[in-house]
Amino acid sequence: MQSQVPVQVGQTYEVEATRLNDDGEGVATVDGFTVFVPQLLPGERANIVISAVEKRFARGKVTGELRRTEHVREVPRCHVFGACGGCQFQHVTYSEQLRHKREMVVQALARFAKLPDVPVLPTLGMEHPWAYRNQVQVPLSYDESSGRLVQGFFGPASHRVIATESCHLEPPEMEETIRQVVRSLESTLGHRSSALHHVIVRQSFTNGEQMVILCVRDNAVVTSPVVDAIAALPRVVCVAVTVQPRPHGPVWGKNVRVLHGKPHLVERMGDLEFLISPRSFFQVNTVQAEVLYNQALAFADVGPNDRVLDAYCGTGTMSLLFARQAERVLGIEVIDAAVRDARANADHNHVQNVEFTVGEVERVLPRRIAAGERFDVAVVDPPRKGCHPDVLKALAEAQPRRIVYVSCNHITLARDLRYLADAGYAVEKVQPVDMFPQTSHVECVASTRFTK
């Protein structure tokens, strides 16, 4: 394979990046052959060594000095940036991050949706794009030689723990709790602490209370002294455990048990309170979640007589926000625990004009549409793979006057907007929202209106 391309693994070449790809890597060429180079910015030249060669592209690493582009380059705050796989953009000024994320959406609409003329608004960013996460999963690795429990984060595309006790995307008080939990586990359990593979901490941005979830291979290690030591930490109001024996793959086990304290945290959004249990889905950026949902509300333009569909509703955050303006809201979600949370949140906020149903959206929605149910406004917030084709087909049949599409993947968003455009929906505008500063991810809200 390597003989068919102009680069070879281990060889050094001088290149210049012309743009960034969607993963935040610099895009360069060698004799017309594409090379992706992490941390190389557009306009910068550097010597790189080729680390991998594929059929259509190669990967390289900067070696030695580079010619810098000062107006977009930033000094990374984190000492493990590049080795840790959590951030891709700490070396890029925040204004350039926002510009690039908008351009990602523009290019996706043009390339995958053939909608080059749809207005894409400037990305809505944060005033302080650091310490925004309300949940963090910290991998653990037991070092036999030192008897230490090492905390950190996985390296890019690996399960190798990059040791660090800090992360600039989480509040300092979360950092401190994680450090104390790890040291407590280490001193209480000794070598048995190798049975833990993650510690998860959630924090309410409303009142600062924290929840600690221990992810273990063997439930027997979670003894009363372990729980008592963690429960005694400042801010911790809940200690829970989940058992996942596999060393890699899913972090969570089938069940989560609360061992001490409150069964949930409370987060406020607008005039609503949301109860967050250990496994509840809640956007990890509380500040930008409110920005995102307010944008969806504005695009939906719901009136007091409107019936609203919230497909892929999760724990019902948007359903409850829409219920304040609508006559009736139906939320559909496949995860039973999420629906239980949604119903609990509706009861907690005394919201009665909302119904939550459990099931795959692609099964429930077509069945209800076939039975004659209709909606004035539909909101969809699917996983990264986008909407199931049967969901789009059912929406096209029901013909709500507006469909608001909330997306965490601009590529599948573009694909699905193409379908809706062909079904008679004018794509009016797309609003990118920066939910994850310092990373390559971008969230979007798209506004569509039925025109046929």
Single out the residue of 120, 167, 117, 113 nearest to residue 139, CA to CA.
167
Compute the CA torsion angle 382, 388, 391, 396 (nearest 10 deg): 110
3-state secondary structure (DSSP) of residue 204 = coil
**Hey, how many other C-beta atoms are within 10 angstroms of the C-beta on 134?**
24
Query: Which tokens hold the place of 268?
Result: 């406020």
Residue 153 near residue 82, CB atoms below 8 Å: no
CA-CA-CA-CA torsion sign (386, 388, 393, 394): negative
Query: Per the residue annotation, which of 87, 167, 387, 408 is the catalytic one?
Result: 408
Helices (H), 146-207: 172-189
Rounded Cα distance, 147 and 223, in Å? 20
Report d(CA 385, CA 364) in Å as an integer. 18
In whole angstroms, what is the distance from residue 335 CA to residue 345 CA? 16
* Residue 114 in tokens: 């053939």
Mapped to the 3 state alphabet, what secondary structure does 296-309 carry?
Answer: HHHHHCCCCCCEEE
Question: In 3D, which of 12, 8, 42 has the Cα closest to residue 25?
Answer: 42
Structure tokens at 2: 């390597």
Inter-CA distances, 94 with 43, 76, 103, 213, 439, Å = 18, 11, 14, 32, 11
Q: What letter does residue 413 receive in the DSSP assignment? A: H
In this structure, the dihedral spanned by the alpha carbons of residues 427, 378, 361 and 118, taken in order and rounded to 10 degrees, is 10
Q: State yes or no: is 78 an active-site residue.
A: no
Q: How far apart are the C-alpha atoms of 128 and 286, rounded to whole Å?
A: 13
Which amino acid does the sequence have at 432? P
Q: How many CB atoms lie within 10 A of CB 397?
A: 13
CA-based nearest residue to 309, from 383, 379, 391, 404: 379
Please report where in the chains the tokens 């070396």 appear, as a residue.
Answer: 91
Q: Which residues have a catalytic role annotated?
A: 408
